[in-house]
Structure 1
């Protein structure tokens, strides 16, 4: 499975990103505009878009498909469900980048992790001071 990464532009916290996704949702979907359709778009359907916030992958949204948008642009159609992931350092970049499944961080609350999942806000704070 193939995924992509993208900056959560103008979001200063996980809560801000979650609010943005909720406000833009229509019928359980969020349409994200991009200039170019990814060449490997067929491989991305069923994968996820991983959000970069403060130089870390912090959440993901399932990619449901791609649609044509006005002006020759493309919509990346995402699930409106934002899934927190274990934060992983990631440099900022413009647009999107491919992410192989083996490099994707696990979800919070994944059955392979021990103990209960921490809230995303707490994990952000721990990561900021280098403890997570």
Structure 2
């Protein structure tokens, strides 16, 4: 069996986890959601061995959604893309600061933030200047 691996991606256009889930629900209903990306992950087997897509909102990881499968999508421009098919529910995580980046990145399980305990739907976000300072000294 392949080792497990995650993806991490900036969530552009959503203010927070609830906003992302509302958008996904409006678009995909109660079933799996999807996020289309240009590049197909080369480490597909590891991602599908229990991996998740971790979402970064305004400089901090706050949630993840389990990856169910990858599917091909062809855009109106004819370019073949990868649809990340996601579980409809998102698990909230402890806030983990992240610098901006483009596209998605692989995320090792040891580097992923811990899930929040049942019943807690959020952590208080850290002030932006503190997140930036932590990033500068290597605390992400």
Shorter-chain TM-score bucket reads: 0.7 to 0.9
Residue of structure 1 in register with 2:87 after alignment = 79
CA contact (8 A) 1:55 1:89 kept: yes
CA contact (8 A) 1:21 1:82 kept: no
Matched, 1:104 2:112: yes
The normalised TM-score by structure 1 is 0.83
Of 8, 13, 24 in structure 1, the residue corresponding to residue 11 of structure 2 is: 8
Aligned-residue offset at 1:26: 4.5
Gaps of 5+ in 1: 111-115
Residue of structure 2 in register with 1:113 after alignment = none
RMSD between aligned residues? 1.8
**Deviation >3 Å, runs of 4+:** none
Aligned-residue offset at 1:22: 1.9
Aligned-residue offset at 1:93: 1.1
CA contact (8 A) 1:63 1:78 kept: yes
Matched, 1:50 2:63: no
The normalised TM-score by structure 2 is 0.78
CA contact (8 A) 1:7 1:51 kept: yes
Q: Deviations over 1:15-69 (max 9, x none)?
A: 2122122223355211211111111111101200000001100000000010111
Cα distance in 1 between the residues matched to 2:26 and 2:100: 24
Gaps of 5+ in 2: 131-140
Number of residues paired by the alignment?
121
The 1:18/1:38 distance shift into structure 2, 3 A limit, reads: same
Q: Deviations over 1:68-94 (max 9, x none)?
A: 111311111110101110010111111
